[in-house]
A and B are shown apart, each in its own frame.
Chain A
Amino acid sequence: MAASWDTSRYLTLFAGEATEHLEALGKDVVTFEKGATPEVVDSMFRHAHSVKGMASSMAFEATAKLAHQLEDLLDALRADLARADAQVADVILQTVDALSTHVKAAVANQPLPDSAELGAKLAALHRVLTKKDTPVPAPAPVTSTPARSSPSSPELEAPAPFSSSSSGVVDPTTPPRYSLRLKINPASNQPGVRGFLAYKRLSTLGNVFDLKPPLDDIKAGRVPQGVITLELETDQSEDAVARTMRTVGDVELESIAAVVKTPPAPPVAPEADPSRVVGQEPARTIRVRTEVMDEFLDQAGELLLATSRVRALSRRVPEALRPSLDEAVDHLHLLVKGLHGRVMAARMTPIAVISDRLPRAARDIARRRNREVELVITGEDIELDRAIVDELADPVLHLLRNAIDHGIEPPEERKAANKPPKGKVTLAVTRQRERVVLALSDDGRGIDVARLEQAVVERGLMTVDQVRGLTERERLMLVCLPGLSTATDVTDISGRGVGMDAVKRAVEQVGGTLEIETKPGRGTTFRLALPLTVAMVNLLLVSVGDEVYGLPLGKVSGVIETARERLPMSQNAPVLQFGQSVLPVHELSSLLEVPAGPPSQGQAPFVVVDGDDGRLALAVDRLLGQEEVVLKALSQPLDLVPGLAGVTILGNGRPVFILDVARLVTA
């Protein structure tokens, strides 16, 4: 039956929300298997209920019916928790999977699958559960299922799948918090700098939270009524904070008060209002399509570029006009940067978006492979740019699969090795300055490096001598060799393998790095260090012939100027002395296959960069300086050209290719 309004407009929204509910439900089932509590069954019921409501609004009758049956089953369970067992959990998961298939079919505009058989199963189970005299089945196998748990912080167990805020969680180890109200003297002629100074001074005392207005507004002088409010987490006394504030001119501390910590919110009770979706989201949010956020970022980036073009032009106006123009451009730049920062902040997404799927995945993999696994996830509230989070979903799943499949030993083998039969896999997310580090560790058998080397040689990927020349770190990185990882028979002897090259590629594509650590018999850790955002990059601009190229500064180790004809030769090729080492010299023009400029007289610049195969020196015609730019991804067909990482537009409007230094030489 078609609804009276055009439902296709809502299809994307429906798919997104229904998927989120189903993922959360799947996650709840894992908790449920560890022990059925009224809270978790309530939460599952609410998710099923929401899916039912949405499906019937969209006139997806079959989906709505299935969700309704699931809802009935959960309702019956609520009345009698003792009847929860592994069989019930399995049927619930099957239903969740079936509902996901329904949603996918709906999005693809295909007929909804036939779930009659599953429906019958649900109905039968429902009958059993509501029949009073049925014998109580055996309790759920609590110990043999993987589960996400964290002994130190039981809050992590709370079903709050998309909340990124940790507020309300009382942690006895955090220092006291104060709520401060500051006022900038209205007569101050630089209120922005005054406010910034106060903020800086306070941040030397502890951590600042809930800064209002946001820092970029303060810096730009947008402080309504001169009032700044913030919370300060510090070990210092109230008096000491007040004393510090007294040393800041033109800013008065109007009030300071200790913040009373709020206890964790009680689980949300099931609500009667079917139009409400998950009740756990604490912040008021609106849903925005990811593409819209991409467009925002693009536009904000364009604005930054446009501003630097104006700045470049201002150098050409008469001297007398320049100061006021510069001031205006400075202000504009600050505003635009603020906007850009805001857009970037809006794109930040908690890792939970991907880690929420892992408990369910861990359970399934462990069951299939007869492993006992406990999955512990910490720090999933930490946020990263949406684009990076999206790129990481598959790699992280790969790593988890490998950890359970090849890392964790079967229970008997673990017992024989004097280990607890249940293996432990940890995903620890931490923020380390400007990077977010995702460490996935297992306490399994570790990587057998000797056998890995042997496999590499056997497959003809490297010679014995080449392998011998590798450092410890490089040896471990062999698991990421493309030819190796696709060979299934190798995965078990190497202990790793499936798709590791894809993992490494994905991590590097977003500007991150992958490190591996392993201890025989003790386990393996994969450490992904990721940038918070993808879009800004600092470049060293160089010219070759008529062209300008950008080298990411992060990959540049140094610059040396020396006469070309005086370079020493090694094996008929020029080399460059850099510190203690001697580096191969490559002409950037020949690597890029572009004409070089006229040979320079006297000193010529060489840029020392870190390539995939070690350091090397690039001969360029001229160094043009540094610039922080907005990186734009390459579109087809340029994204297929090896050695190019992206493109940007300089202040003078000139497009510049950003070189993928790591791959320049191997390309």
Chain B
Amino acid sequence: MPKKVLVVDDSVFMRDIIKDIFAAGGFTVVGEAGNGVEAVEKFKELKPDLVTMDLVMPYRNGIDATREILRSDNKALVVMCSALGQETMVMEAIEAGAVDFIVKPPRAEDVLAVVKKVLGEA
């Protein structure tokens, strides 16, 4: 059974790239969200196996959303999407419970390698 992924990013363009990578890698993207508030709602509703989470978003940033998601399910797997130069924020997200991170612009092989590792499939 393909694993379910929730893609969170405020850029539609970026969401499309990530969605395509997952589709090609044999995952099912069960939903997407454009801000942190939506991300938390969708997570509770869809119960995905994995979430990719943008750091900087309107309404609620990725770190707060990650914290909130883990509060509702402490086994949730959240992978951050960050740009170079956001190391401090990524570490804050890891502190909040994120399990790994992907560097933007995302490259298919990197994304899939990270995600498979996190899911214990590597």
* Chain A interfacial positions (CB closer than 8 Å to B): 189-190, 192-193, 196-197, 200-201, 219, 221, 246-249, 323, 326-327, 330, 333-334
Contact = CB atoms under 8 A, between A and B. Distances in A.
Instruction: Report, nearest first, the 5 A-B pairs whose CB atoms are least far apart.
Output: A327-B85, A249-B114, A249-B117, A193-B90, A196-B91
B35 to A, nearest CB: 22
Contact of A190 (B84, B95, B118): B84
A246 B121 CA distance: 10
Interface string B63-107: 000000000000000000000110110110011000111010000
B contact residues, range: 10 to 19
A-side binding surface: helix, strand, loop or mixed?
Answer: helix
B1 interface: no
Contacts of A247: 99, 117-118, 120, 122
22 contacts: A189-B103, A190-B90, A190-B101, A192-B91, A193-B87, A193-B91, A196-B91, A197-B100, A200-B95, A219-B91, A221-B87, A246-B117, A246-B122, A247-B99, A247-B120, A248-B100, A249-B100, A249-B113, A249-B114, A249-B118, A333-B88, A334-B87
A197 B85 contact: no
A561 B11 CA distance: 35
Nearest to B122: A246
Contacts of A193: 87, 90-91, 94, 101
B-side binding surface: helix, strand, loop or mixed?
Answer: helix
Contacts of B91: 192-193, 196, 219
A299 B55 CA distance: 34
A319 to B, nearest CB: 16
A199 to B, nearest CB: 9
A333 B103 CA distance: 22
Contacts of A330: 85, 87-88
Contacts of A323: 85
Contact of B88 (A189, A200, A334): A334
B86 to A, nearest CB: 8
Nearest to A330: B88
Given A190-B84, A248-B100, A333-B88, 15 more contacts: A189-B103, A190-B103, A192-B87, A192-B91, A193-B90, A193-B91, A196-B94, A219-B91, A246-B120, A247-B120, A249-B117, A323-B85, A327-B85, A330-B85, A330-B88
Interface string B10-40: 0000000000000000000000000000000
B109 to A, nearest CB: 12
A219 B99 CA distance: 16
A190 B88 CA distance: 11
A345 B75 CA distance: 34
Contact of A200 (B85, B94, B103, B122): B94
Contacts of B95: 200
A219 B89 CA distance: 11
B84 A189 contact: yes
A193 B85 CA distance: 11
A209 B120 CA distance: 27
Contacts of B88: 330, 333-334
Contact of A248 (B85, B87, B117): B117
Contacts of A196: 91, 94
A246 B113 CA distance: 12
A327 to B, nearest CB: 4
Nearest to B98: A197
Given A196-B94, A219-B91, A326 B85 contact: yes
A629 to B, nearest CB: 18
Contacts of B117: 246-249
A190 B87 contact: yes
A217 to B, nearest CB: 13
A248 B118 CA distance: 7
Contacts of A200: 94-95
Contacts of A219: 87, 91
Which of A189, A219, A327, A334 neighbours the largest number of chain B CB atoms within 10 Å of its CB? Answer: A327
Contacts of B90: 190, 193
A586 B38 CA distance: 42
A276 to B, nearest CB: 45
Contacts of A249: 100, 113-114, 117-118
A327 B114 CA distance: 25
A326 B88 CA distance: 12
A538 to B, nearest CB: 16
A221 B120 CA distance: 26
Contact of B94 (A197, A333, A334): A197
